[in-house]
Copies of this chain bind each other. A is one copy, B any other.
Amino acid sequence: MSNIASIPSLLNVPDRCSDCPIRNRAVCSYSTPNELAELDKIKFYRDFDPGQEIVGEGEMTQSLGSIVEGVVALHKVMEDGRRQMVGLLFPSDFLGRPLRPSAPYDAVAITQVRMCLFHRSQFEEMLSQQQTLERRLLEMMLDELDAAREWMLLLGRKTARERLASFLMILARRAAAMEQKAMSDGLTFALPLTREAIAEYLGITIETVSRQFSSLRKEGIIALDNLRTVRVLRLAELYEITHDDPADFGDGALNSA
């Protein structure tokens, strides 16, 4: 569970919100300079190691906030050990359930993670005082709900091959967006998840994940530079395999969202 690809720096704490790398996308992105100053006073940073639990299922959560760096997975677990990942959160995503005492899932750091946190009570007070904060949170939750429904289609109806292709397309879109360039053949990105975590996300077994990777590789659609680095050789074909509806991604299907 250690030594995950692309460990972020975590060296210089931003400390002032105005320097924050997620300033434009996080829950605070609509906040005015004055509002931001208020948030600045009550926020605090905390780091988590890969594999470390951030929130336990059903646990009372005293704090909540944004992911500044790293990747966090949300899981639901059945008593007999079956696990399903129900969310995968990246920098700027919001973690925690405001207005509700406990979360019905657990959250685990997948990579090294830095969170920008608030105490629940203080955050909720801010929510009531700053309408920009509440508005942005509402928007983010609406987007997460859409993503969850997209995932329900995958879990309910897609084949293993379609599931892996869909997962890789999501990472490819993210990578292209991060690097500010268009999606095209040759696009390369790091897999933040182990095969086991991918299996939990896709609702299949680790062996099936592995077989589907091998299959895509043998067909020349992707290459694995190493276990944790994917190069997409034929992006259009990968997209075809997902059977995703082009309407779901604006026009053109291959645009960076």
Enumerate chain A interface residues (CB-CB to B < 8 A): 57-58, 74, 76-80, 82-84, 86-87, 97-100, 104-105, 128, 131, 134-135, 137-139, 141-142, 144-146, 148-153, 155-157, 202-203, 243, 245, 247-248
Contacts and interface: CB of A to CB of B under 8 A. Distances in A.
| Shortest beta-carbon contacts, A-B, top 8 | A156-B203, A155-B155, A86-B149, A148-B148, A84-B156, A76-B153, A58-B247, A82-B157
A148 B152 contact: yes
B153 A84 contact: yes
A247 B141 contact: no
Contact of A134 (B87, B138, B156, B247): B138
A45 to B, nearest CB: 25
Given A141-B138, A151-B152, A157 B105 contact: no
Interface centre among A87, A100, A137, A145 (most CB of B within 10 A): A145
Given A80-B243, A104-B149, A105-B149, 19 more contacts: A57-B247, A58-B247, A78-B243, A79-B245, A84-B152, A84-B156, A84-B157, A97-B142, A97-B146, A99-B139, A131-B131, A134-B135, A138-B141, A141-B142, A144-B145, A145-B145, A151-B152, A155-B156, A156-B202
Contacts of A83: 157
Protomer copies: 2
Contacts of A248: 58, 104
A87 B83 CA distance: 22
Interface centre among A78, A87, A153 (most CB of B within 10 A): A153
Contacts of A138: 99, 134, 137-138, 141
Contacts of A100: 142
Contacts of A149: 74, 76, 86-87, 104-105, 148
Contacts of A152: 76, 84, 86, 148, 151-152, 155
Given A149-B104, A245-B78, A157 B203 contact: yes
Contacts of A58: 247-248
Nearest to A76: B153
